[in-house]
Amino acid sequence: MIELFIFIFGLCIGSFLNVVILRIKDGKSLRGRSQCPACGQQLRWYHNIPIFSFLFLHGRCAFCKAKISWQYPLVELVSGFLWLIGYWHVIANPDFYQGEAISKMATGIASLALAMTLVPWLQVLTFGVFASFLLVLFVFDLRWYILPDEITLPAIAVALALNLILGKNWQALLLATALGAVWFGAQYLISRGKWVGDGDIRLGALIGVMMASWQGLLVVFFIAYILGSLVGVGLILARRRNMSSQLPFGTFLAVAAIIGLLWGQNLWDWYWGILW
Ligand SMILES: [Zn+2]
C-alpha cells in the first residue's frame, strides 16, 4: 500500500518535472496554469492527471488535437519507478544507508528514536530529489543538447544541503565536487570546448556533490563511459549515426549517476574484489 502511494507521488513529481522542462525550455515562469504548447489553450485539471490524461486523450490535445509528446507520460512513469526503487533500496539496505547517518543525526537532534524514523525517509527523499534533477537533465541533454544552469546550479545547492543533513563527510564531499568539475573543466580547456560543453563542468560538480566521495564519482564516470561506448557502437551498427556525430554525454552521466547512487558501493567492492 505504501508502495502504491510512493509510486503515485513519483508520477505527480514527474508531471511537475514535465512542466519545469517545458517552461525552462521556453524561458517562462513556473507559475500559472499549464497550457497546450500547440494552441495555447489553458488545460483543465483533468487534462493534467499523470498517465491517465494521456491515455484518455489518446495522446492528443483536447482542444486542437495536436499530438502530445511521448516525453510527458514517459517522464511521469520513469519518475514513479525511480521513487519506488529508491524506497525499496533504502528499506532493503538499512545498514548500508542508515548506519552512520542515524548516529550522526541522533547526536545532532539528541533523540535516537526520532533519528531512526527520520533518516530512512530522508534517504528516500534524497534519492528521489537527486533522481528527479538527473531525469530533467537527461531529457534536456537528449532532446536539445543543453544542460541548463537553471537546473544544475540549484541542484548543486540542494544536493549539498541534503548530503550535509545526512551527515556525509564534508571534506570527502568537497573533494568529489572539485574532482567532478576539474575532470570536465580540464577537457573543456584542452579541447577549447570541443569535447565537452561548459554545462558538463557544472554537471560533473553536481554528480560529485551527489556521490559525496571520489570513489563514487569514479564509478559513475566509469559506468557513463561504458554506457556511452555501448550505445555509440549500437547506433553505428544500426546505422542511425556515423562516427562523427555527437552523442550528448550528459545523458549517459545522468543515467550512470542514478545507477551509482543505488549500486555504486557494490560495484566499487566488486571491481576491487576481482583484482585482488
Ligand atoms: Zn492544443
Query: From residue 82, how far is each of 11, 142, 234, 251 by CA, in Å?
Result: 10, 19, 25, 16
Same domain, 145 and 244: yes
Å from CA of 67 to ligand 1 middle: 8
The grid cell for 19 is 512542466
The per-residue pLDDT for 244 is 53
Q: Is residue 96 part of a domain?
A: no
CB distance 47 to 57 below 8 Å: yes
67 vs 199: CA distance, rounded Å: 31
Confidence of residue 239 (pLDDT cuts 50, 70, 90): confident
The mean pLDDT of 130-153, rounded to a whole number, is 96
Same domain, 60 and 180: no
Å from CA of 161 to ligand 1 middle: 40
Residue position matching grid coordinates 513556473: 30
Q: What is the pTM assigned to this prediction? A: 0.93
The per-residue pLDDT for 203 is 97
The per-residue pLDDT for 264 is 86
pLDDT of 9 > 90? The answer is yes
Q: Is residue 45 part of a domain?
A: yes
DSSP state of 44: P
Å from CA of 88 to ligand 1 middle: 38
Same domain, 70 and 143: no
Residue position matching grid coordinates 505527480: 12
Q: Is residue 74 part of a domain?
A: yes
Number of domains the chain is built from: 2
pLDDT digits (tens, 9 = 90+) for 161-180: 999 999 899 999 999 999 99
The last residue of a domain, from among 84, 113, 138: 84
The last residue of a domain, from among 29, 54, 84: 84
Q: Where are the alpha helices (DSSP H) in the chain?
A: 2-26, 52-56, 71-92, 94-109, 112-144, 149-165, 170-190, 198-211, 214-237, 249-275
The last residue of a domain, from among 52, 67, 84: 84
Q: Is residue 32 part of a domain?
A: yes
Same domain, 141 and 236: yes
Q: Is residue 90 part of a domain?
A: no
Same domain, 189 and 271: yes
What is the crossing angle of helices 112-144 and 149-165, to 10°?
Answer: 160
Q: Which domain holds residue 20?
A: 1-84
Å from CA of 27 to ligand 1 middle: 20
pLDDT digits (tens, 9 = 90+) for 182-226: 999 999 999 998 888 889 999 999 999 999 999 999 999 999 999
